[in-house]
Every structure is written in structure tokens, then in C-alpha cells.
Structure 1
Amino acid sequence: MYRVWNFLTQYSLLLIIGALAALAWANTNPESYHHFVEFVLIDDFFIGHLHDDGHGHVTRTLTLHYLINDVLMALFFAIAAKEVWEAIILENGSLRGKKAATPLIATAGGVLGPVAVYLGLAAFLGSDTYDAVSKGWAIPTATDIAFSYLVGRLVFGAGHPAVRFLLLLAIADDAVGLLILAIFYPSGDLAPVWLLLSFGAAIAVFVLANWLPRHLDRGNQARPNSTWVRKKLSFWPYAIAAALSWYGFQESGIHPALGLLPIVPTIPHADRAFGFFSDAETHLHDLLNDIEHALKYPVEIILLFFGLLNAGVEFKSISEPTWLVLAGLLIGKPVGVMLMGWIAAKPMRLGLPEGMRIIDLFVIGCVAAIGFTVALFVASVAFDAGPVQDAAKMGALFSFFAAAISIVAGKLTRVQKVN
């Protein structure tokens, strides 16, 4: 439990502090808050927001918001991608084999359910509302892994199989979220040829810093080439490749916060996965885990500023998008997870983990409705700054009410806690 709480305080507490400070600031002095968010760091730069100077000359301006959301949040998404990558490819990875089948199918329900509720209610409210909010359909598909895990333990107890099921669902949900961001939310006009730079950098660093030293060392247990690369070059080849990949994503029009994703699979990693939050992970010293540990404190600070720069919404902005996001999360998530989980467990005969009931799927869906971090991020890219974006962000913030709903649902469905 110490490691779990330690993780939550490291990656979530500062985020909450930043979000609360933003809410207080935006509702007491909105003008100074928005000036802070859009503070210009460097004008006419090679990275930043695109804008036309009015004379046909397109330039980029690096603002504080861009620095946090588009540049530094790439480190946060790289850590998420690392967990997803290891869960898929490593021995004992949580998303490998038949044991992951039911959670993965339930994840599909946890994505499709919120989308159906969000867009269905938007259409019911009329074409004007639908046209204004339809781009935000992906906001309620998000699940905040850390907060959901904590609430899941409170509802089910640390030893309940539903907690592991929830964790698998949340990791898979993050993987889907990354794909949705890449495909459906470009940051500008698409220029896919720039992705050649990103994937070229990934291939080059894998061949030169990973595959080639191991190939030269084949048959030699001393592994002199691999050892030299690890000790002398360390993470620097991957840092250079990451910078090139990020730039390629920016220029391609795909959201640059995802720019490090092609590099993550190229980094030398452990031979097997011990699982998210496992104590054993702290004793792994492959380069990928070392990089993750080194990023711990920087990512804490980044999430503090992410909360500060994105959660500053005036309460008067609460409107239809707020309720649509909440309905997608609080209704679509539980119903979708339970329905698709039931289909996987019963008609498809994939079953549930021993000790789990069908009704537990509904409670898991309630817990997974805590969107927060990723929901806030998607809201910031789905809509331009303004009333609709602010209202959608408020829905993401209000998703914390899912924690209370989950506890009540657990009581009503008579969940037997397993500690």
C-alpha cells in the first residue's frame, strides 16, 4: 500500500493542488489568470502555436501553455506509453493472452458507451448544440489510472480480483486514448511526410544504440559493446531521437504531446513485467525503467503546472457541455463496461476472474468514470479556448463525483471487500 500511496501522492497530489489553485485564481481574477496561461515566452520561434502575422507570413509563438501542454506533457504520455508497451510485449504483461480478453472487451464498452451517451444527448438537445459540442466526443472516454486505482481499492479492498480487472481496463483505456488523440485530434493541417523524421529517428536509434551493440556481442557473455553504449552514451541517443520525433509530430500536425511514443519501444527494457505499482519495478535497472525513475520528479512539477494552466474555469461557464461530459462518464462508462463485459464473460464464454460477479462490472465502470487528467487534456485539444472548452473542462473536473458514486454503488451491490 505504501508504494501505491507514494505513487498517487507523487503523480496526483500536485496535479490536484494545481487544479484547485487554477479554479480559485480563475474565479477571483480571470483576466490575470488568462494572461498567465497565454504568457509569451519566445515570439517567432521554431516551436509553438502557429499564427499568421497578417502579411502571409506564418510564425510560431512559444507560450507557457504550449510549453506545458505540447512539449513537457510529452514526458507524461511517454510514461503512460511505457506502461502500456510493457503490459503488451513482456512476459507476464497484464495485457497479454486470454486473461486480458474480458477487460479489453469491457474497455471497448468503456469507450463506446460514453461516446454514445455524449453524442446521443447532444443530438437530443438540438442541431445547434450538437454542432457546437460534437468534437468533444472523446472527452468522456478517458480514465484516470491513479485515481481510479485508489478508489477501486477503497471500494473492493486491495485483494479483490476486481481491482486488477480495473487496472487492466484503465491501462487499455489509456492506450485507446493515445490512439484517439493521434488520429482524431490533429494540432494543425496534416503533413504526414514529417512523420518520416519521427519514425526514422526511432529506427535509427534502435539499430545504432540497441540492436547493433547486441548483434556485435552475440556469443560473447562479457557484452563489451552493449556495456560501452550503456555506460558511455546512456540515454543520450534516445533523448536526441526523442527531440527529433517530437519535432516531426509538431510539423506533421499530429498533437506533439504524443511525439515521444515512437521512441519508447526502441529503449532497452526488462525481460518481464511485474505489473503496475509492483514493488519489483523499483529494483529493475534496465534503461527504460531508469529513465522512468529519473522522470519522476520532473513529471510531478509538470503535472502541477498542467493542472494550474488547464483547470482554471469560471463556475459561470457551466453549461450543456459540462453535463454531456458528466453523463458520458457517469452513465455511459458503467453501462458500457457492464454490457460489453457481460458479453465477453457469458455469450463469448471468456469468463471473469474467480471471485468476481457480473454486477461488479457496473461498479468497476463507476470507478473508471473518473476521467480528470486525460479528460482535461482532451478537452483542451478538442475545442478552441472559449466557453465550450471551459464548460467541457468543468465536466472533466466534476468527474471526481464518480468516486462517491462508486462507494455508494459498492454498498448497494453488496461488494465484499477483500483486503
Structure 2
Amino acid sequence: MTASTPRTPDSSSPGPSKPGPNTPGPSTPRLFGRGSWGEAGRIGDILRKETIGGALLLVGAVVALGWANSPWSAGYDALRAVTFGPAALHLDLSLATWAADGLLAIFFFVAGLELKREFVAGDLSDPRRAAVPIAAAVGGVAVPALLYTIVNLTAGSGQVRGWAIPTATDIAFALAVLAVIGRHLPAALRTFLLTLAVVDDLLAIAIIAIFYTDDLSVGPLLAALVPLALFWFLVQRRVRSWWLLLPLAALTWALVHESGVHATVAGVLLGFAVPVIRSQRAGGPDAGPGLAEHFEHRFRPISAGFAVPVFALMSAGVTVGGMNGLVVALTDPIAVGILVGLVVGKPIGILAATWLVARFTRAELDDGLAWVDVVGLAILAGIGFTVSLLIGELAFGAGSVSDERAKIAVLAGSLAAALLATVVLRIRNRAYRRIEEAEAVDADRDGTPDVYQREM
């Protein structure tokens, strides 16, 4: 089929449309289906934690930006430059480097856990469900990178090196904005945004490992396989003892850091090593959460509530230099490329990829959804903060003029994307709220809404 526009929610909508002569049958592929009730509950728990993390992330960024542009900016620079760590292991790093290389490894560890769980035991273990967010994430990476490169082609190869900056969606920031402006949006849209951002993180870490590793030392990289293999062996045997696992994880991180590959890659590899499904000896997949979900519950609050906000505090502090400085920074080709990539490239890439999946699989949007909902989410995905700042530092060097201008552009582009998405999604949120007020959500004594039970 062609991507026809489904019904638009309004106050008179009585609920999901009944099958008719032109209504797709049960076998028709659906985009943004609500998934299973158990998965919906798990996703809801993740969203609540990431929303709180997004608020803390915003606080860290605002404090850093205000501090760096205050009369006490020298104190901010001095704090970032504080060095500590064992020099014998080449880990006498500045506080800013510890935040970028160490704390973000926790963030990517959680991302690795989440991604593996989604594709092993989540709703996205179904290839038909996985196709949409994967395609959307790829489109949302490719188009911004292409637009940035086009803008900076004539500016020199040094500036083109920042092509990956506008490719990353900040999951915590985006979900925090969505929680404020889209409380009544269907859960399937939130799940789509979360999954897209997780796949986006995986693509980002692959880009970092492949394109931003300048000096590779093979010896430490091969040596990192030893503690990683031991970590894998223990977690496969469902060992949870922190005094065994944490030293192995830290040694893996240190050796990857020493190899020249960005140390956050170690976080993803460790996350992928953790099993998702419980062993048959422990009762099998029906006996409760596996080790990956257990670790995710333990480490997500640390990631969202501490690691990412501290990274924002250490990285978002950029001296703007007043209105003239802001104009100069935002007219630089690097900044223009980032702005175009985040605000224009992200929505185009995500929408185009999603539409192509619908076009070639003859899929329909799920009942009650419209393409304007996807437009709003695609714009919201243009919020790029945590990983974008990290890639900017890797591309241009922390503290360089180009890095400073990249930071300003990331902040401005993310703000613009958030405001534009607010306009679209607030309108849609009001429409869905009217539907919720007109319809009573039924639930049986077991607490599972009937709409989920009908699909079981």
C-alpha cells in the first residue's frame, strides 16, 4: 500500500475503529502496535527513570553553562582540570576526562543491556517489530551526517571530521521533554522513541570505535579480551558477586582505554556479555527477570541519576561571549552543519525510513495513530546532547575553538528541536487527552487492560 493517512483523533472519536471492508485484516503488518502488556509495564518503568534522569541532566547542563559564563568561570575550568588516578596505569586523568571516559561507560553499559534484552526477549525479538525502529535509527544517523558533510565540504577536512556530531539522539533529554508535553500520547510512541534512541546509541558507539580511534594499540586491546572473557564466563553462570565482576569490568575498561579505542566501548561489550534469559536450572524464561534485567535495575539509576548529569556538568560549560559571540559561533560552518543535521536531518531521516518500511511492507499505522504523531517524534529525536558532546570532543579536541562552537550548536539545535516538537506534540496530546476523557479504560480483576487481553 501507499502510506495512507489514518484517522486523526478528535473529541468525537468513539475508540478504535471496527473492521470494515477497507480495514486491514489481522495479518496486515502494523506500525507502532502496543505490544505485550508485560513489555508495556517494563517500558513504563524505564521511561520514569529516564525522565527523572533527563531533568537532572538539564540541571547539570544549565549549571555548567551558567558557571562557565559567570565571573567565577575560572573555578569551573580549574575543577574540570583536576587530575587524579594511578599514573603507573596511565589513568592520571582530568575530572572532565573521567566523566567522559569513565562515567559514560556506565551509560553505555546500560544501553548495551537494554539493546540486548529488547532483541532477545522483548517485543523487538520479532523481526517485523524490530524493522521500524532500526530503519528509523539508521535513517536518523545517515541523513544528518550527510547534511553536515555537505555544509562543511568546502570548509576543510578538519571540520568535516565532526560529521557524526548531529547523529545521536539523547534518550534522557528527549524522554524528559516527552513526559512534560506528551503525557497522553499512546505508549507505543514512547516505546518507539526509546527503542530508536537505544539503537541510535549502538550506532554511535560503533562510529566512535571505528572513526574516532586515532592511535590503536593492539596489545592492550587483545589483553582486554581476557577479563572480558572471565566476566562473560561468570555472568553466564549467573554469578552476581560484585567483588568478582566489578574488578573484571574495571580492568576491561582500563585496557580498552589504554588501547586507544574510546573506553565507553568497553561498557557496551560488557553489557552484551550479560545473559537475558534465565537458565533452565533457574526455572527458565518463565521464572522471572534474567541477569540483564537485574543489572539494568541496579545500574540505570546510577547512569541516569549520576553518570550522565555529572558528564553534562563537566562538558556543557562553554563560554558564549555575549550576543556577538553567539552569532559568530552559530554562523560557523561546523555549527550550521550541526544545526541543520539535528533540526532538519533527523526528522527527514527518521520519517523517510519509517515511510519506506511502511511502503515496502504494506504496513498500516496502528489504530488511532496518524503520521503527524511520527513527525512530532522525529523532530523530538533531534535533541542530541550527551553523545553529541562526546563526539564533538573526540572530533576536535576538548576545549578547542571548534569544540566550543560545536557545543553551542548542539545546545541550540537541541533546544530548537525540543521547541518545534513541543508545538506538534502538544496539539496531538490534547487530541489524545480528549479521547481518554471520553473513553473509560477497562481492566479486569487481574489488572490487565482488556485491550491487551484481546490481543493475547
Normalising by structure 1, report the TM-score.
0.79
> Residues 102-141 of structure 1 correspond to what in structure 2 (within 5 A)?
102-123=132-153, 127=154, 129-141=155-167
Structure 1 counterpart of 2:80: 37
Q: CA deviation at 1:307?
A: 1.4
1:260 CA drift (Å): 2.6
* Aligned residue in 2 for 1:164: 191
Say whether the 8 Å CA contact 1:156–1:415 is kept in structure 2. Answer: no
Aligned CA distance change for structure 1 residues 136 and 181 (closer, same or farther; 3 Å): same
> What is the identity, as a one-letter code, of the residue corresponding to 1:23?
L
Distance 1:150 1:62 in 2: 31
Answering whether residue 407 of structure 2 is matched by residue 380 of structure 1, we say no
The structure-2 alpha-carbon separation of the partners of 1:85 and 1:45, relative to structure 1 and needing over 3 Å to count, comes to: same
Q: Tell me the secondary structure at the aligned position of residue 294 of structure 2.
A: helix
Q: Is the 8 A contact 1:182 1:258 kept in 2?
A: yes
Per-residue Cα deviation, 1:7-64 (whole angstroms, up to 9, x for no partner): 145422222222111111111233332222112225844133xxxxxxxxxxxx4211
Match of 1:184 among 211, 214, 220: 211
Q: CA deviation at 1:356?
A: 3.4
Check whether the contact 1:344–1:351 (CA below 8 A) recurs between aligned residues. no
Distance 1:305-1:161 versus aligned 2 partners, 3 A rule? closer
CA 1:5/1:99 → structure 2, altered by over 3 Å: closer, same or farther? closer
Unaligned runs of 5+ in 1: 49-60, 214-225, 273-282
Aligned mates of 2:186, 2:429 — CA distance in 1:
16
Q: TM-score, normalised by structure 2?
A: 0.73
Q: Deviation at 1:297?
A: 5.1
Equivalent-residue separation in structure 1 for 2:94 and 2:45 (angstroms):
36
Partner secondary structure for residue 98 of structure 2: helix
Residue 277 of structure 1 corresponds to: none
Is the 8 Å Cα contact of residues 52 and 176 (structure 2) preserved in structure 1?
A: no
Alignment counterpart, residue 228 of structure 2, candidates 181, 194, 202: 202
Quick one: which of 305, 308, 317 aligns to 2:313?
A: 308
Instruction: Check the 8 A contact 2:49/2:300 in 1, yes or no.
Output: no
User: Is the 1:72–1:302 Cα contact (8 Å) retained in structure 2?
Assistant: yes
Structure 2 unpaired stretches of 5+: 1-40, 280-286, 437-456
1:139-181 per-residue CA deviation (whole Å, 9 max, x = no partner) reads: 1111111332344453483325433322222221112112111
Aligned residue for 1:25?
67
Cα separation, partners in 2 of 1:235 and 1:40, compared to 1, 3 Å: closer
Q: Does 1:239 align with 2:246?
A: yes
2:42 is the alignment partner of 1:12: no
Contact 2:57 2:173 in 1 (8 A): no
Paired position in structure 1 for 2:103: 72
Identity of aligned residues (%): 29
**Count of matched residue pairs:** 372
Distance in 2 of aligned mates of 1:193 and 1:36: 33
**Structure 1's 147 and 340: CA in aligned 2 closer, same or farther, altered over 3 A?**
same
Cα distance, 1:76 vs. partner? 1.4
User: Residue by residue, what CA displacement relative to the aligned partner does 1:180-230 show, whole Å, maximum 9, x if unpaired?
Assistant: 1111112x51123432222332223333x244x5xxxxxxxxxxxx6xx55
Contact 1:89 1:96 in 2 (8 A): no
Asked if the contact 2:109/2:269 (under 8 Å) is kept, the reply is no
How far apart are residue 361 of structure 1 and its match?
3.1
